[in-house]
Chains A and B, each alone.
Chain A
């Protein structure tokens, strides 16, 4: 029977995602916007309507850029290529085969099909373990150039540099094109908003904030990014399809690098990451360009350029970000009460069968592990076993290889030689996210969380691996395993569930990261200097948690620590690393007073087997 505990009272002033009030507000806004769209053509003149149809399609393309860049953190110049593919698919089919329902269907299929395949290819090329954001941006830069060159070399098939004109297209009235494009834009905005606010959508923001942490929570970020790119490409292609279908002209500029950069400019000026900002940016710039470029020919582009530079350097949130900051300042002046913070979030404990109290199966098995960089040997012939219910401390001077060892356990591609088995499975050359699936959780030395996500959302993302999140709902219930929940409650995080992680103190961030890692329900927990920077009280609390995890939940905990008092307090076993080898491996009593350890720590030169330098 799930145990529902209201974590905090619902704060009425907040209308936040997931709460009914938020949906009402959005529904109202959407209906109003839709009404405006429907009524628009009766109020606006033909020229404006014409411009706006194009602007709406461009806004849809800008939305895809915002999802990729503002929300997920991949700067892309290449969405124009998919826009152009969609448009040219229509133009080519209609030029070659004429216009008709069958041809329209063919064109649509071609647009979507080609865009999807190209996006898959580009995604595979750009996103792979070890790729950098810069490289992904480089590829996104090259893509529209390649597409445009292909168009140039296509002869009459693609119209070369003049593009394709004179083909028959959809026979809608101007007013209905307006409504179609406007409603399509609103629909896209709405769907994106819903998905990004859902539990699954949180993952995108998490990837933008801290890609590595996502991998270590078991999320295959490369695959997510490729999937996202394909979806974005399809949407952009459909927008291009509409654009060219409306104008009955397909030009290479629609697919080019300059247009791709303009989309980025629109998103930046409007406010990256806000979705609405992309729409506003696109519409404003499209309209202003049309109206102003005749009266202020070169000055308009100059203004845009200057505004763009100013925004990037000084106002990264764009227009919307600036307005939001302003609203925040005004609100703080006007209202004495602090801004509303939290959405009501209810904690629930995930029920799991309790671990057998004396369970002590071997869950970590390391044989002959070595790591070297060229001729420099960092770890050699490391072998040990660790069991459930053991708390093993890894100690040793700086440069002994402790963090390297942790890395080699958590990521199959790190080690040079030797084997590692986690919970009975060899890690081979598996990537970190796959090893998480074997039952490993790694906590980093510097608290590695998602800065712009709320505490509750950070924990939600940590549960993604174990519970498939909804793409529609933002659930008000947060289900955590008992150990994770215990950390949340004992550390005081339970009162800050709605706060963004970046406002937490160092100690609380460490607790949050621990709770996130425990949310994975790991069998093996790797901790890297977890007490650095904690107060005495925090350290004691931490020691209590660890001891309980080991004794009650039968976890196997490997902890790197410098604070030897702490080590003595909590460990059942100590492994001493020195110059890349295990110097000692034994119980606390055996190791603590060993003369070798004293020598290692006081730095007196040791006549060691590794061969001292000089």
Chain B
């Protein structure tokens, strides 16, 4: 029972870390970045590189963030910028970008599955159960990410400008805010966050050029349901992630993998704009 609860909490944390970058991009720019999966992959390989260079593993997420952020900013500048008026085409173009990035990674690193050593191994005895320490640490990691982001949005001038752009881009421009720059920075942060997520989850899974894909659909559905609010995203990760764990444990792991997608689709049918205001 305790294990189940811990599974739910840590799964929610992992989902949140993976989906946060996608949410940020969707919330500010109103487009869905289907290259998100490939940025997760980029981050995972960044962690691989970090470990190969013998750098302390705690640097991996930061290195990943930088790599993803720069690559993301570049793609915004070159490709995404032209698609703001065509949101469906933006999904397709970013999907294509994802393929391109994935293939480049494959060319650089090969197709084989690789492993990154766990920075922190072992278990923690918690509430009478031995649970993976690394998984537990992802919970505070998720909270830190959420906290940093909230701090950025609410405590800085850039955050104020970004919130203004989200609420009413025209008005923001009229007040002198360069919304193009805000979008560039946002996209960079969103991709950086995806890469950081990739680095963080590598110890839990293997690293191969297509690993990001498995997360994409779930993250996408969670973002749609959350309607653009980070808080609602957290709740959705908790509720839907929890239901996924329950379904996987008690019904079957395969059907459990469907839970998020199916329940989110139903939820969206009832309330197409998501649950941000609920």
Direct A/B contact, Cβ within 8 angstroms:
yes
Q: Which of A134-142, A237-245, A347-355, A521-529 lines the interface with chain B?
A: A134-142
Asked if A309 meets B97 with Cβ closer than 8 Å, knowing A135-B272, A146-B262, A153-B255, the reply is yes
Within 8 A of A (CB), among B96-139: 96-97, 99-100, 102-104, 106-107, 111
Task: Report the nearest B residue to A316, measured CB to CB.
Answer: B89
Is the beta-carbon distance between A145 and B217 smaller than 8 angstroms? yes
Contact B261 A302 (CB under 8 A): no
With most chain B CB atoms within 10 A of its CB, the pick from A135, A138, A141, A265 is: A138
Give min CB distance, A547 to chain B, whole Å. Answer: 40
Q: Encode A282-298 as 1/0 by CB contact (under 8 A) with B.
A: 00000000000000001
Task: Compute how far the CA of A132 lies from the CA of B268 in the bound complex, rounded to whole angstroms.
Answer: 11
B residues near A304, Cβ cutoff 8 Å? 99
Take A145-B261, A298-B107 as given contacts and tell me if A261 and B95 are in contact as well, using a CB distance cutoff of 8 Å: yes
The answer to whether B272 touches A313 (Cβ under 8 A) is no
Query: Which of B80-88, B143-151, B155-163, B173-181 binds A?
Result: B80-88
B270–chain A nearest beta-carbon distance, Å: 11
Query: Is A542 in contact with chain B by the CB < 8 A criterion?
Result: no
Residue total for B at the interface (Cβ-Cβ under 8 A): 35
Check B269–A298 contact: CB distance below 8 A. Answer: no
Residues of B within 8 Å of A309, CB to CB, are 79, 93, 96-97, 100
Q: Is B278 an interface residue (CB 8 A)?
A: no
B71 beta carbon closer than 8 Å to chain A: no
A138 contacts which of B92, B111, B221 (Cβ < 8 Å)? B221
Specify which chain A residues have a CB less than 8 angstroms from the CB of B258 in the assembled complex: 145-146, 149
Q: Are A139 and B265 in contact (CB under 8 A)?
A: yes
A268→B96 CA distance, assembly (Å) = 11
The answer to whether A134 and B217 have CB atoms under 8 Å apart is no
Contact partner, B96, options A135, A308, A316, Cβ 8 Å: A308
B107: A residues at CB distance < 8 A: 298-299, 302
Contact A306 B100 (CB under 8 A): yes
**Is A133 a contact of B99 with CB atoms below 8 Å?**
no
- Interface residue? B1 (CB, 8 A): no
Indicate whether A305 reaches chain B with its CB closer than 8 angstroms: yes
Among A125, A130, A153, contact of B252 (Cβ-Cβ < 8 Å)? A153
A301 at the interface (CB under 8 A from B): yes
Using CB atoms, name the residue of chain A closest to B268.
A135
Which residues of B are found within 8 Å of A299, using beta-carbon distances?
103, 107
Is B96 in contact with A142, judged by CB distance below 8 angstroms?
no
Inter-chain CA distance A309–B82, complex, in Å, is 12
Say if the beta carbon of B62 comes within 8 Å of chain A: no
Q: Interface readout for A301-330 with B: 1 if CB under 8 Å, 0 if not? A: 110111011001100100000000000000
The answer to whether the Cβ of A257 comes within 8 Å of any Cβ in the partner chain is: yes
Interface residues contributed by chain A, number (CB under 8 Å): 35
A298 x B89 contact (CB < 8 A)? no
Quick one: which of A133, A265, A301 contacts B103, CB cutoff 8 A? A301
Asked, given contacts A75-B88, A130-B272, A145-B261, whether A312 binds B103 with beta carbons under 8 Å apart, the answer is no
| CB–CB B99/A308 < 8 A | yes
Minimum CB–CB distance from A276 to chain B (whole Å) comes to 21
Separation in Å of the A464 CB from the closest CB of chain B? 26
List the A side residues contacting B83 at CB < 8 Å: 312-313
Q: How far is the CB of B2 from chain A (nearest CB, A)?
A: 28
CB-CB under 8 A from A131, the residues of chain B are 272
Name the residue in B92, B221, B252, B258 with the highest tally of chain A Cβ atoms < 10 Å from its Cβ. Answer: B92
Report the bound CA distance from A445 to B96 in whole Å. 38
Q: With an 8 A cutoff between CB atoms, is A152 at the interface? A: yes
Please, how many angstroms separate the alpha-carbon atoms of A614 and B79 in the complex?
48
C-alpha gap A134/B224 in the complex (Å): 10
The reply to whether A141 and B217 form a contact with Cβ atoms under 8 Å apart is yes
Taking a contact as CB atoms under 8 Å apart, the answer to whether B255 and A149 are in contact is yes
Cα–Cα distance between A32 and B224 once the two chains are bound (Å): 49
Question: Which residues, 61 to 94 on A, are CB-close (under 8 Å) to B?
Answer: 75
* With A138-B221, A308-B92 already in contact, 10 other A-B pairs whose C-beta atoms are closer than 8 Å: A133-B88, A138-B224, A138-B268, A142-B221, A153-B255, A301-B99, A302-B99, A305-B96, A309-B79, A313-B82
Using a CB–CB cutoff of 8 Å, the interface residues on chain A facing chain B are: 75, 125, 130-135, 137-139, 141-142, 145-146, 149, 152-153, 257, 261, 264-265, 268, 298-299, 301-302, 304-306, 308-309, 312-313, 316
7 nearest CB pairs, A to B: A305-B99, A309-B96, A302-B103, A308-B96, A305-B100, A312-B93, A153-B254
24 sampled A-B residue pairs with Cβ under 8 A? A75-B91, A75-B92, A135-B268, A135-B269, A135-B272, A138-B221, A138-B265, A138-B268, A139-B265, A142-B217, A145-B261, A149-B254, A149-B258, A152-B254, A298-B111, A301-B103, A302-B107, A308-B96, A308-B99, A309-B97, A312-B93, A313-B79, A313-B89, A316-B89
